[in-house]
Amino acid sequence: MPAAATPPGAEDLRARTRRLLAQHPPGTTAPADFLDARFDAGLAWVHFPEGLGGLGAPRALQPVVDAELAAAGAPDNDPRRIGIGLGMAAPTLLQYGTPGQRERFLKPLWTGREVWCQLFSEPGAGSDLAALATRAVRDDATGDWIVSGQKVWTSSAHLARWAILIARTDPDVPKHRGITYFVCDMTDPGVEVRPLRQITGEAEFNEVFLTGVRIPDTHRVGDAGEGWRVAQATLMNERVSIGGAPVPREGGMIGPAAATWRERPELRTHDLHQRLLDLWVESEVTRLAGERLRQQLAAGRPGPEGSGTKLAFARLNQAISGLEVELLADEGLLYSDWTMRRPEHVDFTGRDAGYRYLRSKGNSIEGGTSEVLLNIVAERVLGLPQEPRTDKDVAWKDLTR
């Protein structure tokens, strides 16, 4: 077969990357200093603008940089630990943030100096995020916003320096129109973080109580009352980052299941073999569809198709982990470490089969419930009629809660 054509711009990026490595050898440069230099060289995320860690290059060229750095043993920014910042906060700030916000937040976000979390979900809103009740009231004397309310299912809140937050700023208009988007300082004395222990035994999630938290107007993202539109950009990016993250062949949940099948022939049955083959094919199709989706993304502007990849991710993870437990029979019921811990990152495939089975149950809830995502795919991708929404023109304060 003929060699694949070199993408335009790839050789320039390789040369830039090699200059970075020559000026900051990974073996003798502190990891934090190397990451700073990489950001300043525009090699952090090449599709971002110059001066913000990028070069304005096509997103598809990022693997060229990553491959050169990996071959040289360069440190990375521990993307699993800062996934919310990378996958959700950064593209939203790029699309809707002010120049000052981008300048302040993007570099420490990418280098991992500052961890981010997401303050969206609320215990009283269920799957209807637009029904949120956390209030932000303007202080006329200072121009600041005073925020009070409760958020729930907040990954990494126990580690976070900053949060992306949506709050209700106008209760007199319909629920989608009275919301504003903010950057919240998690070190404010009015922020309280409490762990939520999960079925796995750990507390990867948290609930967050906000009591009189003061947010300067300079930390408002987008116009007041336009938070729902800004939040949609965040949510679309979240679904791509969960369901469409780049993985190698047999990456993700299908990898451990296939490895068990190969290594433990005594466990095999014809029925399980056929089911494993079906799930392997579906996993590969979903992986390739995710790759195509990423290639089509414009910087910071994903479409509703990301909801489809996230739906497939949740369904496949649950089916594959269930098959793995069934394949292992009695062994599949074992769970080696039901210990209370507050991990630094989400681990969908770590530890043993029992952990994977339990953890996958959350995949159909986090990042938007599967039921909500089915509506998005039906209405925005397939063009089917919308569900009746009797409350869309009713002021939020008049809704039954």
By DSSP bridging, strand 179-185 and strand 162-168 are antiparallel
Within 13 Å and on the Cβ side, how many CA atoms surround 242?
33
Nearest to 304 by CA among 387, 384, 360: 384
pLDDT for position 365: 83
Hunting for tokens 């009275």 — which residue is that? 178
According to DSSP, residue 201 is labeled S
Taking only the tens place, the pLDDT of each residue in 132-144 is: 999 999 999 999 9
Domain 231-381 fold: Butyryl-CoA Dehydrogenase, subunit A; domain 3 (1.20.140)
Would you mind telling me the total number of residues written for the chain in this entry?
401
pTM above 0.85, yes or no: yes
pLDDT for position 298: 45
pLDDT for position 243: 58
pLDDT for position 244: 57
Which regions of the chain are under pLDDT 70?
1-7, 239-246, 294-305
Q: Name residues whose C-beta falls within 8 Å of residue 187's C-beta, 6 or more positions apart in sequence.
A: 161
How many whole angstroms separate alpha carbon 126 and alpha carbon 111? 34
How many whole angstroms separate alpha carbon 16 and alpha carbon 266? 52
According to DSSP, residue 243 is labeled H
pLDDT for position 65: 97
What are the sequence ranges of the domains in the chain?
A: 13-76, 231-381
Alpha helices by DSSP H, listed for 152-269, are 227-243, 254-263
pLDDT for position 302: 56
pLDDT for position 344: 80
352 in the Ramachandran plot: left (φ > 0), alpha (ψ -120 to 50) or beta?
Answer: beta
pLDDT for position 372: 83
List active site positions: 238
